[in-house]
Structure formats: structure tokens, C-alpha cells
Amino acid sequence: MSVSGHLGELRKRVIVCIAVYIVAFLICLRFAGRLVTMFTDMGTGYGYRYVYIAPQELLMVYFSIALLGALVIDLPVIFYQLYCFSAPGLLKREQRAFQLAVFFGSLSFLVGIAFAYKISVPFMLYFLISFTREVAVTASISIQEFVNFLLTVFLIFGCIFELPLLSVILAMLGILNSEILKRGRKVVIVLIFFIAAIVTPPDIASQIITAIPMCLLYELSIFLAKIFYRKRESSEEDEEDKDRDRLDGGSADHESVIGENKDADGA
């Protein structure tokens, strides 16, 4: 395919992604009110009350949810279009690896969001509201700040749960192995708690509830990297053995041909 043909193909893929994003945005905007109600119900049971302090604040919350929801819906389409564009230049093994990466990447992201929704966020909300029991203060929270807090936590945990998949991909490429991860364990744990302190509310409980899953996923990454790096080494050894046998067979055939030529000359 010529350069103009590649550009035309890329333009078609981009148009499809944009069209799906627009449709997904309109659908998410239609159901944004229900999503806001679902989010606020998470804190209502703990005593949170919600207000908005600017006329356009609630509308901006709807748009924020719709934009992010449309991106989540459009991501599989983006990856699929990227795969279709690059598939002609990939080997079958690489195509299979790309498909598995897209599938398990999307699944891991959704599992991270579900973990945050069911476990992390309720614990954070309960812990933070517990301080109002000691003082006469009512938790009237800006709806925009509350929704932004939830969306940030969801994105963080969605990305955190991608760590094992990333380690598998790097191990399959031969860039990373379990020994490298083991040697960097202490430094990584310190970085995990540092990152958790930055991205979570300023309390030790939220930091711990964010850091512990990250540490467990890091240990899982070590285990998976060990398995897949060994598989890569074994496959490389098999390929080397096949190449060696092919070369040995070729040299043997060459020697037999030389022997036959000598016999013919002698005759």
C-alpha cells in the first residue's frame, strides 16, 4: 500500500473512533443523572449531603461523567481500530498477543473500577465522615468535588490493575524479568506509598487502602513475569535448536553433494 493509501486507511479508522465517541458521549449524557444518583448514594448512607455552589456546577458534572464514560466505551473501539490498521504488518503470534492484551487490559481496568467502587471508596468515605462525630460539623459536599474525587479514584485503580498485564507484556518482549522486579521491590514499595499519599485524600487510611492493592499486584507481576519470561526463553531455545538442526542438515547435504562430485570425478 502506498503512503497515501496508509493515510486514507488511518483517516477512516480515526473517523470511526470519533463517531463512536460522539455517540457514546450522547448516550452517557442521557444517563448522567442516573450515574450522579448512583454516586451520591454511596455517601448518603454515611451522612453526606450534597450541594452545588455555582449555577453551572451540576451541568459540568454531567459533562465530566459523559466525557469520561464515552472514553471508557470508546477505548475498545480505539484498540480494535489500531489492531486492524497494524494487523497486516504483524505476525500471527503478534496478532494473538495484541488481541489478548486488549481483552485482558480492558478486563483488568473494569476489575480495578469495581474494586474501587465496592471496597476502596466506601472505606474512604466511612473513614473521612467519622471525624464529624467529634465535632458539630455537617458534611455538605460540593457535588462537583465529590464526583471528581470518585472519578479520580476509579481511574487510579483502573490503571493500578493494569500492572500485571504490563509486566507480562514486558516479560514476553524480553525487557523485564522477575529478578529485576525482585531487586527493585524495596524501592517500588516506597514509591507506591509515596504515590498513594499524593493521589488519595490526606489521611493514612486512604493511603493504606490504595497502597496495599498496589503492593499485592506488584507481587503478582513478579510471579507472572517469572512464568512468561521462562516461556519466552524456552521458545527462543526451541527456535535456536531448529535453526541449528537446519544448518546441520544443510551442511550434511552440502558434504554429501561434494562427496558425490568427487566420486563422479574419480570415475
User: What's the confidence (pLDDT) of residue 254?
Assistant: 47
- Tally the domains of the chain: 2
Q: What is the tens place of the pLDDT at every residue in 209-241?
A: 778 877 888 888 777 777 766 665 565 555 555
| CA atoms of 223 and 220, how far apart (whole Å) | 5
- Does a structural domain hold residue 37? yes
Q: Is position 172 within any domain?
A: yes
Least confident of 2-11, 48-57, 244-253: 244-253
The gap between the terminal CA atoms of the chain, to the nearest Å, is 56
Query: How many whole angstroms separate alpha carbon 175 and alpha carbon 189?
Result: 21
Cβ atoms of 20 and 69 within 8 Å: the answer is: no
Which is it for the CA torsion 127, 131, 136, 139, positive or negative? negative
The verdict on 120 and 99 lying in the same domain is yes
Q: pLDDT band at 154, cuts 50/70/90? A: confident
Enclosing domain of residue 217 = 162-236
For residues 150 and 206, state if they share a domain: no
Same domain membership, residue 101 and residue 59:
yes
**Is residue 252 situated within a structural domain?**
no
171 and 208 together in one domain: yes
Shared-domain flag, residues 101 and 144 = yes
Instruction: Give the model's confidence band at 113: pLDDT under 50 very low, under 70 low, under 90 confident, else very high.
Output: confident
Taking CA atoms, 3 is separated from 6, 7, 8, 64, 87, in Å, by: 5, 6, 9, 38, 17
